[in-house]
Each structure stands twice: as structure tokens, then as C-alpha cells.
């Protein structure tokens, strides 16, 4: 191969690599962050998050989610897309009891982890779930590399929301539905 051809091949290869690298950002990008912000506003509006949100009876949880949890599931329509919205409130603190959480939820809330089933084609390999992990004030929490946890978190990686939720029985990525999937 002469040098000119080699350079052409290199340029094409680097363009291809560059474009696929951009297309493969599965989470934490600008669009995912802005989608997560809209989702948070929707949750505030419908009292699913924020001060004075609807309370359910908290229950004892396990890692990686909180010691004490609350779960709300409902159909939601966000920017014209209707899907299942699953909101999990994660509470923690030394010696925390269910009564402590009932009496003062704001004090012990550590994170709000959310899944929203988006339009077909959003993530066909993984049932089109959008994931987000918020701090109690609605800001997005970040992974150790500083990437905001919003979007297809962490698609293609061995750990993270998708890798773990894939294990839910019935292939729907929702552990809370496992009871429907047992024979």
C-alpha cells in the first residue's frame, strides 16, 4: 500500500471510529440530562417527588438500593410518550426504622431512582427503559467518573442499572413484577 492510500485508510478509519464513539454514549449526555430534568418536573407536578409528595408505606430494602424503600408505579405521559413510570425512594441512616421514615421522610431520603419506559426504539435491546438517579433535591447523581446517571445506564458495562435489572425474571427489567412471572 502506498503512503497516500495508507493515509486515506487511516482518515476513513478514524472518522468511522469517531462517529461510532459519539453514537455509543448511552447515558449522561446532554439529551439524557435534559430528559431527566423534564421527568423530575413531571414527578414534582404529580407529587411523586419532592416535599409533600404522596407517601406509601415504606418497607425494608436491601443493597444496592436503600435500607428502607418506597415504591410507586404508574402510567405516565411525558412529551407525548406514554409508558410505565417506576419511582423508588431510597432511605438510609444509622439504625433507621420504618417509623422514622414515616415521621420524617425528607430527613432520611438519600436518593430517588427512577425507570421510565420510553418510546419503541429508544433502547430495543433492553425494553426501552430510561434510568435516572436523583439526589433528594432533583439534581442528578453521578458515577465515580463524574458522568450523570441518566439515560441507558450503564449500557454495555458489566455493572450498573441495566446489567443488574436484566436479571429480573420475565425479561421486563422490573424486579417488582417477578411475582407475575412465577408459575
With contact defined as beta carbons under 8 Å apart, do 49 and 93 qualify? no
Closest C-alpha to 39, from 145, 105, 91, 112? 112
d(CA 108, CA 96): 8
Cα–Cα distance for residue pair 130/157, rounded to 1 Å: 16
Instruction: Quote the least distance from Cβ 120 to ligand HEC, whole Å.
Output: 20
Smallest distance from ligand HEC to CB 61, Å: 5
Report which DSSP code applies to 120. Answer: T
CB nearer to ligand HEC: pick between 167 and 183: 167
How far apart are CB 2 and ligand HEC at their closest, in Å? 51
- Cβ-based nearer residue to ligand HEC, 43 or 161: 161
8 A C-beta contact, residue 176 and residue 71: yes
Whose Cβ is closer to ligand HEC: residue 41's or residue 175's?
175
Least spacing, CB of residue 177 vs ligand HEC, in Å: 7
Q: How far is the CB of 94 from ligand HEC (least distance, A)?
A: 20
End-to-end CA gap in the chain:
63
For ligand HEC, which is the closer residue by CB, 18 or 171?
171
Residue closer to ligand HEC (CB basis): 12 or 157: 157
Per CB under 6 A, residues contacting ligand HEC are 61-62, 64-65, 69, 71, 86, 88, 113-115, 131-133, 149, 153, 160-161, 164-165, 168, 174-176
Residue ranges of E strands in 52-170: 59-60, 68-78, 81-91, 109-117, 129-134, 150-151
Amino acid at each position: 500500500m502506498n503512503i497516500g492510500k495508507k493515509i486515506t485508510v487511516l482518515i476513513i478509519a478514524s472518522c468511522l471510529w469517531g462517529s461510532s464513539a459519539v453514537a455509543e454514549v448511552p447515558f449522561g449526555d446532554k439529551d439524557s440530562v435534559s430528559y431527566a430534568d423534564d421527568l423530575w418536573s413531571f414527578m414534582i407536578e404529580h407529587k411523586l417527588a419532592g416535599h409533600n409528595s404522596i407517601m406509601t408505606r415504606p418497607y425494608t430494602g436491601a443493597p444496592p438500593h436503600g435500607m428502607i424503600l418506597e415504591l410507586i408505579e404508574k402510567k405516565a405521559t411525558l412529551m407525548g410518550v406514554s409508558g410505565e413510570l417506576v419511582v423508588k425512594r431510597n432511605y438510609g441512616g444509622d439504625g433507621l426504622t420504618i417509623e422514622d421514615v414515616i415521621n420524617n421522610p425528607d430527613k432520611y431520603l438519600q436518593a430517588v431512582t427512577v425507570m421510565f419506559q420510553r418510546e419503541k426504539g429508544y433502547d430495543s435491546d433492553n425494553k426501552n427503559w430510561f434510568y435516572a438517579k436523583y439526589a433528594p433535591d432533583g439534581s442528578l447523581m453521578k458515577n465515580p467518573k463524574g458522568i450523570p446517571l441518566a439515560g441507558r445506564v450503564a449500557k454495555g458495562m458489566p455493572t450498573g442499572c441495566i446489567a443488574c435489572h436484566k436479571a429480573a425474571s420475565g425479561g421486563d427489567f422490573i424486579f417488582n413484577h417477578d411475582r407475575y412471572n412465577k408459575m
